[in-house]
Amino acid sequence: MTSPTLRLYWFAHGDHDLQAAKALLDVGGFTDTVGMLFQQAAEKHLKGFLIYHGWKLRKTHDLRLLIGEAITYGPSLAYFRDFARKATV
């Protein structure tokens, strides 16, 4: 996959996770699954963002690591550092 295609792949899958989380919230309950889907969506969007900036994809689920690297390209993302810390288990 080329870099632009790979970036779009990650964004599309992150959007899918967000849509699934919203659907579960609408029916109520399933909060553990909703939380997991939000974490995965954040991870996938961060990977897409990083790939856009030339980052080499590597296997990680650590939002703290991903947000730390993303901040180098977009300093305003530092706002989400606390979320990344709390969402990484």
pTM to 2 decimal places: 0.90
Q: How far apart are CA 8 and CA 21, in angstroms?
A: 20
Phi-psi region of 30 (alpha: psi -120 to 50; beta: other; left: phi over 0): left
CB 55, CB 72: distance < 8 Å? no
List the pLDDT tens digit at each of the 89 positions of the chain: 667 799 999 999 999 999 999 999 999 888 999 999 999 999 999 999 999 999 999 999 999 999 999 999 999 999 999 999 998 87
Q: How far apart are CA 65 and CA 23, in angstroms?
A: 29
